[in-house]
Chains A and B, each alone.
Chain A
Amino acid sequence: MKKISTPYLLLLPGFAFLFTFFVFPILSLAQVSTATPISGGDVGEFEQTLRFRNYLEAFLESREHFGRSLVYALLATFIALMISYPLAYALAFKSGKYKNVLLVLVVAPFFTSFLLRTVAWKQILGEEGFVVPPLRTLGLISESTTLTSTAGAVIIGMAYNFLPFMTLPLYASIDRIDPRTLEASGDLYANGFTTFRKVTLPLSMPGVVAGTLLTFIPAAGDYVNAELLGGPNNTMIGNVIQSRFLIPDYPTTSALSFMLMAAILIIVIVYIRKAGTDEVV
């Protein structure tokens, strides 16, 4: 018998897992996406008819949601980046002996479920929360204005929920920067801002790319934040997929899922090409 080398044996469980829970579902999804309901059959019974029109119809019906998902996800990613960069910088360079405690605090939200944290945000921003009543009393917002059921609430919610995904890769790459290169930059006539622009930022690009991807990808497919914090005008593609799934309209759901995956894949590839991370050490 031919000897099987150990590395392949070690890879086996991983491959088995990926095949069962990734390759097989994807193939099944592809199969369902071109199916049609069986005429006269029960609800939820479909047959394969290779109807690629499913994709076009699904897209035309939901393009508004597609667009909204991408815009919301981009904004949430941008906000998370703006919050995380200074945080990660401080963690890496200024936290001293509190570094580990602060890192635990960054990860701490993960100890509670994603859903519960979003419900908590709903309470905070809700009518009876501690944000809206004081603002009303001060006259900063009108009696009819709400904070929930707005695009802002959805975007802020996503930025909050995916913040650790942004902070940790950023921290990891900023922490790797030798502080003496920053001193060298100052020594070579660069002021603080120029040093950031010419040295710190380029050296932390791997973290920026990883963090933005880890935030953007789940945000683009998210439906929890829109469901709990948004209103009827803030539904994202994730919400459409979820509601279609419950009908059940599996072919449309599958087609939408495939298109979302394709869209994200294209955006990621273009982004990585642009950011040129392979050039960054």
Chain B
Amino acid sequence: MADSANSARGDLKLASVTKSYGDFTAVDDLSLTIPEGSFFALLGPSGCGKTTTLRMVAGLEEPTVGTIHLGSTDITFTKPYQRPINTVFQNYALFPHLTIFENIAFGLRRRGIKDVDESVNKVLDLVELPHLAQRKPTQLSGGQQQRIALARAIVNRPALLLLDEPLGALDLKLRRQMQIELKWIQKEVGLTFVHVTHDQEEAMTMADTIAVMNEGKIEQMGSPAELYDNPKTAFVANFLGQSNLIKGTLVGTDGDSLVADLFGQKISLPRSRSHAADSSIYAGIRPEKFRISLLQTSTSGNLLSGGKIEDVSYIGVSTQYQVMMPWGQELMVFEQNDDGVAPFRIGDPVNISWEPIFTFALRGDEDADAGTEVVPEDLDEE
């Protein structure tokens, strides 16, 4: 075994990595650095190239162009079994003919470690399933198999742990529980986790840093809060949560703020949140940042007037409104039900207001619907 590659540690660096299958480019000139010890998520819709990226890091695919480094070691063409990288596969891929104990010990034994008992038992304790050691994988529930798949990978203390939609097959409640556990385990063992998912909530719950991928490229990378509050593209604005994108023009500046004209009404937004290339923009505001008021009420901050309530959905913690604006666009507004005020009714004439700092600006030539019509991912895809 190549010890040099196997003992590599450090940041994972992908430099200009491209993967093509014939005419189809799955991953397009991707450059990325994942710092050692972080919980990193690759988030994107089905077919965006995130799984292909993961497989190249694991060594299951070779890049067409580009290099992959772990620390200072080039692992671009290293065989999977020579990389200090382990994977938790989407369907767990446990060995059906081996006991849980032997499944977990598999990697240790292959590396010539004779005394595996202590390590295996320790990791079984970590995933809280020590009583299942002598069972076969088929005798376990989905959630248990998922933990064993995780245990089988982390027992090797890899420099990098790859998780390929590891929670995709679990039901919602179990998934939420495992998200918290995974995050806890990552802190506990201190390994670098790279998590591939199409579930934005999952990515935001767990990861320190998220890279949003679309059509083989990284759209934006940052902390969950950064991506949510200050998306750079319409795809990110729509794929992570929901956004109202209103067409407009930048007309001036006011200190650290920019002034924009949205269908004849002036609003201001922080200069740091503008990603516009020229004066044509989409102004973006998250639905929960809006406040609705009846026409006569006075408001501060940004204000768009002339709206009319089109639809009301009461969902307990909040009420969701569709507000028709004079220029024919429906805006989405989420109001918390915390003020005891009776909800607005369909047909009420309203103003919409919000704090200027919650506004972001995207390039005006973007497709405002990018990332909205994403079909839920099929498990067996990619």
Contact = CB atoms under 8 A, between A and B. Distances in A.
B60 interface: yes
Given A178-B91, A281-B136, A186 B80 contact: yes
A194 B80 CA distance: 13
Question: What 9 A-B pairs come out closest when comparing CB atoms?
Answer: A188-B107, A189-B110, A180-B93, A184-B93, A186-B80, A281-B96, A202-B97, A189-B81, A187-B87
Interface residues of B, number: 27
B95 A199 contact: yes
Contacts of B85: 187
A181 B94 contact: yes
B138 A184 contact: no
Contacts of B152: 188
B93 A181 contact: yes
Contacts of A202: 97
21 contacts: A181-B94, A181-B95, A183-B89, A183-B93, A185-B106, A187-B81, A187-B87, A188-B86, A188-B107, A188-B152, A188-B153, A189-B81, A189-B107, A190-B81, A194-B110, A198-B106, A199-B95, A202-B97, A203-B97, A280-B97, A281-B136
B97 A184 contact: no
Interface string B92-105: 01111100000000
B212 interface: no
B163 to A, nearest CB: 12
B122 interface: no
B323 interface: no
Given A180-B93, A188-B106, 14 more contacts: A180-B91, A184-B87, A184-B93, A184-B94, A184-B95, A185-B95, A187-B60, A188-B110, A188-B153, A188-B156, A189-B81, A189-B156, A281-B97, A281-B138
A190 B58 contact: no
Given A189-B1, A202-B97, A183 B60 contact: yes
A188 B60 CA distance: 12
B114 interface: no
Nearest to B149: A184
B131 interface: no
Of listed A186, A187, A202, A280, residue having the most chain B CB within 10 A: A187
A186 B79 contact: yes
A184 B111 CA distance: 15
B164 to A, nearest CB: 10
Interface string A181-219: 101111111110010001100110000000000000000
A178 B110 contact: no
Given A202-B97, A203-B97, A183 B80 contact: yes
Interface string A94-118: 0000000000000000000000000
A187 B110 contact: no
Contacts of A189: 1, 81, 107, 110-111, 156
Contacts of B89: 180, 183-184
A188 B109 CA distance: 9
A183 to B, nearest CB: 6
Interface of B: 1, 58-60, 79-81, 85-87, 89-91, 93-97, 106-107, 110-111, 136, 138, 152-153, 156
A253 to B, nearest CB: 44
Nearest to A279: B97
A181 B90 CA distance: 11
Contacts of A178: 91, 93
B60 to A, nearest CB: 6
A228 to B, nearest CB: 42
Contacts of B110: 188-190, 194
A219 B124 CA distance: 49
A186 B60 CA distance: 9
A147 B136 CA distance: 51
A198 B105 CA distance: 13
Interface string A166-190: 0000000000001011011111111
A194 B59 CA distance: 17
Of listed A180, A184, A188, residue having the most chain B CB within 10 A: A188
B62 to A, nearest CB: 13
Contacts of A203: 95-97
Interface in A18-54: none
B136 to A, nearest CB: 7
Contacts of B107: 188-189
Contacts of A199: 95, 97
Nearest to A194: B110
Contacts of A281: 96-97, 136, 138
A247 B215 CA distance: 81
A36 B89 CA distance: 70
A184 B96 CA distance: 12
Given A281-B136, A281-B138, A187 B94 contact: no
Interface in A200-243: 202-203
A279 B90 CA distance: 26
B63 to A, nearest CB: 17
A190 B95 CA distance: 13
B95 A187 contact: no
A147 B81 CA distance: 47
A187 B96 contact: no
Nearest to A205: B97
Nearest to A195: B81
A181 B80 CA distance: 13
A279 B80 CA distance: 30
A281 B103 CA distance: 15
Nearest to A181: B93
Contacts of A188: 81, 86, 106-107, 110, 152-153, 156
Of listed A178, A186, A191, A194, residue having the most chain B CB within 10 A: A186
Contacts of B106: 185, 188, 190, 198
A128 to B, nearest CB: 51
Of listed A184, A190, A191, A280, residue having the most chain B CB within 10 A: A184
A280 B97 CA distance: 6
A281 to B, nearest CB: 4
Interface string A144-159: 0000000000000000
